[in-house]
A and B are shown apart, each in its own frame.
Chain A
Amino acid sequence: MTPGAGERVRPHVFAVWVEDLPGVLNRVTSLFRRRGFNIESLSVGPARAAGVSRMTIVVRADDTTARRMLVQLSRLVNVLRADDIIDEPAIHHELAMFKISAAPEERSQVIQLAGATGARLVDIAPGSVVIEATASPQKIDGLAEVLRPYGILEQVRTGLVGMARGAASVMTDPDARKPPKRRRPGSDTGGGSHSV
């Protein structure tokens, strides 16, 4: 039988450790682009080990295709390790910020709502407030629903980051080469100050 035929499509969460070098993000995303897959979310930041970035990539695919993409990812020279953690007992969170146009008379309601859902008020301006939340994508979706009647002017979501639960499943950072070579400004794999 043709592999993958008739399988259910569902989101897969790839945790990918890569060498923090220029162009690596391009190599990784190129594998998804080649197959015409839309990356639902992608987040990158420094891993625990120096010179290593950790990516979390969410892609909808059937299990066979996801497995195949995982081996293709593992095959990239700069990829240190890749796992699909969708079926692991894991914490899947993302960070979201909503700018709400809440009129002065609605503000207290918005702030109360935010507090009740674990979100935080992080900015108050004359015409708007900014609410920030860190939670599972489903909870963030719920928060957005609740906030919508008050007028969402702008929203930003980081995309999901995932970590398996418990000490038994610690995903040790693979080591980067020592010392990290060919590092230069403009790295597109690292977050923030990590690679600059």
Chain B
Amino acid sequence: MTKRWRRTGAQLIWETLLGEGVHTVFGYPGGAILPAYDAMLDYPIRHILVRHEQGATHMADGYSRASGEVGVAVATSGPGATNMVTGIATAMLDSSPIVCVTGQVGSALIGTDAFQETDVTGVTLPITKHNYLVTEVDEIAPALHEAFYVARSGRPGPVLVDITKDAQQAFTNRRPRLGKVDLPGYRPEPRPPETALKSAAELINRAERPVILAGHGILISGAMGQVRELAERARIPIAMTLLGIGAIPANHSLNMGMMGMHGESWVNQAIQEADLLLALGMRFDDRVTGSLKTYAPNAAKIHIDIDPAEFHKNVRVDVALAGDLSAVLAHLLPVIEARDRSEWLGTIRGFKGDTAVRDIQNLPDMGKLYAAHVIHDIWRMTGGKAIVTTDVGQHQMWEAQYYRHNEPRSLITSGGLGTMGFALPAAVGAKVARPDDEVWVIAGDGGFQMTMCELATIAQERLKLNVAIINNGYLGMVRQWQEFFYDRRYAGTPILSPDFAALARSFGLGGEVVKTRQEVEGAVERARADERTVVLDFQVEKEDTVYPMVPTGARLQDMIRRPGQEAEGDPESEGEPVGAGRTVEW
């Protein structure tokens, strides 16, 4: 007689995750998730023990952004789950597909303020794409299956599945049948009407001064090749959003660079002078538009996005095309005409003006250590091929300006939420997803201290990362705002740090302090060669500033520029990454 099929809810959790292709989870055990942890040992799952559940969510996020797969974080009820909130919100704002599995107190205890009970589906409702409270063993597999589908389809996002302890412990004889997900109200991939496609094509073919605004959606959709084809055939210059970086190689002759608050001045000027903006998988965030009243006043606007809720949200557009970017471009590309547009490209070259002269790369360091130089050197020495993760702030903007990303999914940064403490755990996720790639953390001294406990995770998992702390003794971006807009009253921004190198060594990792430009190359070389993770404490200029800058609410062209100085040498002679050719069209 054959034994009847029988599973616990806890077993079904892992069997469903394995069925979704999951082999690694980032988590932290606790009472309400204990049955799941107990069952985990019987399945081929790699569990990475984090030091704080926020780290687990950022790791899942970093894993997802590096690989395009769904990242998974596991935590217990109450404080375990509430610690995930920042990471979930980060994933939500940057459309990152992660699934969080949390334990919940027994269903009979829900609503009684039981030990470690929190209404986690209530808490995370506005920061998840969707969430589930599961109280029955037979609901576990379908809920998880649905969660993965919702997380990765359409506009991706975080999904949380909260499973009561009794549901994990209960047995079932009903084998889950997980077929096609039945969600009648969920339409992840809209299709644009033919007429809208026709109007878009006409606008593009007619435009004299078009600009492509390239966003994160290009990477998510995998439309890099098509966007490039569109730009090359129609000779349309491209401006990048922060999260779009890597979608088009930085060394592509039509890639102007980053737009927005800390974008290049000529990029913003091109947007303001454009007669057509073609927005691809981006959402006109306030950090890229500046004042909406004066934003690209003469431009017709075409917006292609998978989420119709983004249309006309910040900027009224003339043609809105809802759909997966790759699918929309497949319809659009055949009707886009080849154009020359050399006049427009020449005009933009003119906008560049004295910018190269003002670039800090071309200024003497006068014996000082500038963050821009550090990041530039890391870029040069890694051949521009590393995966870089960042927090938010000055170092993030310098990274975006001075590390030139040619590969998709090579910059992993918290854009929408602007989360300090994101970089280190996100790098763990990225390294686990792509173990053969070189991974660099670039973080500030402030943000690093928010999640530096994950150094212990890195040591325990024997992961090889390289960490560059841009240490200026201030919460630098806030200090910069205080300098510009609050009369240099540095309230709460000076920050004391531990000896980061000694701290790293205490975890069994490598650590070095770098104080001058001359030491940078050697330190970076030694860090890369070390088989352990090495933390480099770059003690940079304390009151350095990110230029250029559009003050909040100002017109995009009204940028605060770096004060002019005498340049040393040839402004075009910027360093080249090892083995990388760059055609400078701008």
Contacts and interface: CB of A to CB of B under 8 A. Distances in A.
B125 A77 contact: no
A77 B183 contact: yes
A109 interface: no
B184 A22 contact: no
B126 A30 contact: yes
Interface in B80-128: 121-122, 125-126
B520 interface: no
Interface stretch (A98-106, A142-150, A176-184): A176-184
B182 A77 contact: no
Contacts of A178: 182
Contacts of A27: 125
B312 interface: yes
Contacts, number: 65
B185 A79 contact: yes
B182 A19 contact: no
A8 interface: no
A81 interface: yes
B314 to A, nearest CB: 7
B313 interface: yes
Interface residues of A, number: 32
Interface of B is mostly: loop
Interface size of B as a range: 20 to 34
Nearest to A18: B185
Contact of B185 (A23, A34, A81, A184): A81
A64 B130 CA distance: 25
Contacts of B308: 71, 74-75
B121 A78 contact: no
A183 to B, nearest CB: 11
Interface in A72-93: 72, 74-81
Contact of B316 (A1, A71, A72, A75): A1
A193 interface: no
B491 interface: no
A68 interface: yes
Nearest to A64: B312
B184 A182 contact: no
Given A75-B307, A75-B309, A181-B142, A30 B185 contact: no
A62 B126 CA distance: 23
B452 to A, nearest CB: 33
Q: Which 9 A-B pairs have the closest CB atoms?
A: A80-B185, A177-B182, A71-B309, A77-B130, A2-B292, A77-B186, A79-B185, A75-B309, A177-B184
14 contacts: A2-B292, A19-B184, A26-B122, A27-B125, A67-B312, A71-B308, A71-B309, A75-B307, A78-B185, A79-B185, A80-B184, A80-B185, A81-B185, A181-B139
Interface of A: 1-3, 18-19, 22-23, 26-27, 30, 34, 64, 67-68, 71-72, 74-81, 174-178, 181-182, 184
Interface of B: 121-122, 125-126, 129-130, 133, 135-136, 139, 142-143, 150, 182-186, 292-293, 307-309, 311-316
